[in-house]
Amino acid sequence: MLEKESNPTISKSTGLPRKRFYRARAHSNPLSDSHFPVPVSPSHVDFSLHYPQFFPSSSEVGCSKKIQFADIGCGFGGLLISLSTLFPETLMIGMELRDKVTEYVKERILALRGSNPGQYQNVSVVRTNSMKYIPNYFEKGQLTKMFFLFPDPHFKEKNHRRRVISPHLLDEYAYVLGVGGIIYTITDVEELGDWMKSCLESHPMFEALKEEELEADPVVKLLCSATEEGQKVARNVGQTFQAVFRRIMPTSRYMTTDMVCSSLAICDD
């Protein structure tokens, strides 16, 4: 208690970390080299560090649960926190490149676990570059949902290769998403929204959800409201542009030779 009262980074009223002590640049360059540990493969991730209630010890091999949701570029963790109580039995993780922001999300989750016993045990965060290391964390077909909310638009054409949604990265996302898994994207930049939608429409392993499916999905309602960026857009009465697509098995008549080779690598057991 005394530690909390004397720690200026913790809010006295909520017990949560204060964002102003963890502020960082809005975005980081995903092509630059960062120094943080990267697991050799998904089997080398110590899940007891992330989900101690589900994995009591790194030496115990009893739990068969696996991460199913991944929030790519999770920011301050607003979506993860909302999803945690909506899907309490589903393991989920945020992947964030900025070290201060990652530290904030860690402290936020720990504080919520402490003040809400039994809750928020299914959510965690890791500092990593998801554009480089997705296959190091997830097995083939492991995920059921991936989120890309308000990513860096990288306006200059020469920087489009830095965009987190691109044709070649969708191959990797298709690998870690199970058939029927869903990719959620949203942005307040119309050109980026068109780009992400076009990339997904052009990929043979994704199809758009129908309007009635979007209306029935409780997660879609959180895309605008759960994140700091989404709340800012709402306050400014701004527009958002969503693209929500399902992972499917490709049909051969739409596939080029390169697509066949790519899908064989994804689908091959």
71 is catalytic: no
Q: Any binding-site annotation on 75?
A: no
Q: Any binding-site annotation on 78?
A: no
Q: Any binding-site annotation on 262?
A: no
**C-alpha–C-alpha distance, residues 187 and 233, integer Å:** 10
Q: Any binding-site annotation on 96?
A: yes
Q: Any binding-site annotation on 228?
A: yes
For residues 146 and 177, the answer to whether their CB atoms sit within 8 Å is: yes
Q: Any binding-site annotation on 143?
A: no
Q: Which helix (H) or strand (E) holds 216?
A: helix 211-216
Q: Any binding-site annotation on 215?
A: no
Q: Are strands 91-96 and 67-72 parallel, antiparallel or unpaired?
A: parallel
Q: Any binding-site annotation on 201?
A: no
Distance of CA 44 to the CA centre of its chain: 20
Q: Any binding-site annotation on 200?
A: no
Active site residue: 99, 152, 194, 269, which one?
152
Give the chain's length. 269
Nearest to 246 by CA among 214, 197, 205: 205
Query: What single DSSP character describes residue 15?
Result: -
Query: What single DSSP character describes residue 43?
Result: G
Give the pair of three-digit tokens for residue 208. Answer: 């758009």
Q: Which residues are identified as catalytic? A: 152
Binding residues for S-adenosyl-L-methionine: 73, 96-97, 129-130, 149, 227-229
